[in-house]
Every structure is written in C-alpha cells, then in structure tokens.
C-alpha cells in the first residue's frame, strides 16, 4: 500500500498568513493527488485534484503543486473560514489519505 505522510500535523497561523502543508508519498503517485478541507462534523470538501487543479468554486487563494512523491498545498492569505483540517489523498493505486493537518488560530 502507498503511505501518505503530511507535515506538520498541526499548524498555528493568523488571518492573512501564507500557509504551506506538505504531503509525501512512499512511492511515486505521479500527479494523482488530491487535497481536501474538512470542518468539524462535516464531510470533506475537495479543493485540488491532479495535484494542481482547483476544483470548481474553490477560492483562488488555494493552490497545489508537486509530482511524484512530494506535494504542497498553499493558502496564500489565510481567511477565517480556512481554519480546518486538511487531508491529502493519492489515487494512483487505489486510494490512501494522509493523517491530516489541523490549521488552528494563533
């Protein structure tokens, strides 16, 4: 199975900060990588697919990059609605999620 490792596990930031979350795969997943946002008690919401493609309706402050085994999700200017937990997911060979990164208010 492909393992996905996110860092950091928790991130404290302020409104307006630039935030970067990293996701590493145990083997190459090419660009079959998605990012999700999940708020407490809600289903995950797709933000990015194929590593760098913004899902319809997702604000442009979210961006994704990377290929192979290393990927990043960047929020260019953190907004109050962005405090949540973020997950990466590989879907190259079946599917695996990372362990999540919680973005907290500093």
Partner 1 sequence: EEQLVESGGDLVQPGGSLRLSCAASGFIFRNYWMSWVRQAPGKELEWLGHIKQDGSERFYMDSVRGRFTISRDNGKNSLFLQMDSLRAEDTAMYYCATSTTPASGGDAFNLWGQGTMVTVSS
CA distance 92 to 86: 19
Binding partner 1 (rule: CB under 8 A), the pick from 21, 23, 34, 103 is: 34
For the chain, give the longest Cα–Cα distance: 38
Residue among 36 and 71 whose Cβ is closer to partner 1: 36
End-to-end CA distance of the chain, in Å?
36
Residue among 19 and 32 whose Cβ is closer to partner 1: 32
Residue 20 tokens, joined = 């970067």
Query: What secondary structure does DSSP assign to 13-28, as a single string?
Result: E-TT--EEEEEEESS-
Binding mask 39-78 for partner 1 (x = CB under 8 A): ----xxxx--xx--x-xx----------------------
List residues near partner 1 by CB under 8 A.
1, 32, 34, 36, 38, 43-46, 49-50, 53, 55-56, 87, 89, 91, 94-100
């Amino acid at each position: 199975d492909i393992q996905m490792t996110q860092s950091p596990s928790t991130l404290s930031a302020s409104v307006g900060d630039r935030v970067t979350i990293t996701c590493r795969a145990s083997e190459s997943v090419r660009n079959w990588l998605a990012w999700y946002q999940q708020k407490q008690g809600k289903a995950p919401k797709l933000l990015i697919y194929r590593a760098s493609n913004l899902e319809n309706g997702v604000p442009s402050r979210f961006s994704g990059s990377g290929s192979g085994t290393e990927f990043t999700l960047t929020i260019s200017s953190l907004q109050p609605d962005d405090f949540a937990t973020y997950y990466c997911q590989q879907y190259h060979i079946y599917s695996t999620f990372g362990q999540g990164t919680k973005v907290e208010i500093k």
